[in-house]
Chains A and B, each alone.
Chain A
Amino acid sequence: MKLDCKHVWEHISGYLDQQLDPELLAAVEKHLENCEVCSAVLDSTRNVLVLTADNRTYELPVGYSERLHARLTAVMAGGETS
């Protein structure tokens, strides 16, 4: 199987998620070894995911949990109807 760049781009996500079947995976990897452009696209897309993972740990607002449970308590007690 021989792929051009455009076909490889269609499979970048599948490649990153390890969802390509073996034949397609081999073809994509073969292309990547020889194509600077597609390697850069792959790495930059992967870096977006690295950044996303890195961003995931941000803090919740102070007191969020307390306010949530206080509101639920009020609702359960029938103190809030809408």
Chain B
Amino acid sequence: MKAAATNETELIRRILAGETELFHELIRPYERLVYVTIFAILKNETEAEDGAQETMINAFRYLKNFRGDAKFSTWLVTIAMNEARKRLRKGKAAAEDSLDATLEDPEGGDYTPAVLTDWREIPLEALEKKELREKLQEAVALLPEKYREVFVLRDIEELNQEETAAALGINVTLVKVRLHRARMMLQKILVPYLKSGAGSDIHGKPFATQGKAQRGGFFRRWFT
């Protein structure tokens, strides 16, 4: 990572010194990051591609304003996020992504997850279902903008808390609060679809062993 950062610093210096064609090389590792960031907000391929182009053009034009105190990737994501916001406000995005359709904003109030005692794990077959993937995308689109932004950067882009805070211009505490709310909202929306035809071995098992058994089985394959 350090080598990459050093290389970037050097590339940026040379670009600013006049070797502008090196900009192509500078941004190549981040093409996907920029596109996915904007697409996750706008849910429209054409808009996301146009937005990604504008982001990179702006990055090129304002490269001299980049201060080395943030990571270059974070700086790019900040520009991408601003571009996505701008397009969202202009109403250029897909009609079904209208702000009217978003969830009520619970900030300031209590937020409770969906409680479902017969909820079961997703079997692998279900994970592969296109339908479920689409439900997730729809659910993310339903999140109020400020929660969606944090969810996109933290859980889709896998930026860390500090990078997310820097990209959005908010503090780390707010990142944590909004991420939690976003996840809880998604849980609530998606719970009905996450119910599957998996075995009903939950019932009849003692409560004390059930949770551990669940977490130790399926998820170990994904999280270790």
A residues sitting closer than 8 Å to B (CB atoms) are 6, 9-10, 12-14, 16, 19, 32-37, 39-56, 60-61, 64-65, 67-69, 71-73, 75-76, 80
Interface size on B, residues (CB 8 A): 54
Closest chain-B Cβ to A34's Cβ sits at a distance in Å of 6
* 29 intermolecular pairs with C-beta atoms under 8 Å apart: A12-B180, A19-B176, A34-B208, A35-B207, A35-B211, A37-B115, A42-B215, A43-B121, A43-B219, A44-B187, A44-B190, A44-B194, A45-B183, A48-B136, A48-B186, A50-B219, A51-B132, A55-B136, A56-B156, A60-B31, A60-B35, A61-B49, A68-B31, A71-B56, A72-B23, A72-B24, A72-B56, A75-B57, A80-B57
Question: In terms of DSSP, what is the predominant structure of the interface of chain A?
Answer: helix
Closest chain-B Cβ to A40's Cβ sits at a distance in Å of 4
A13 interface neighbour in B136, B176, B208, Cβ under 8 Å: B176
B136 touches A67 (CB 8 A): no
Q: Does B53 contact A (CB under 8 A)?
A: yes
Closest chain-A Cβ to B61's Cβ sits at a distance in Å of 8
Bound Cα distance A67, B222 (Å): 36
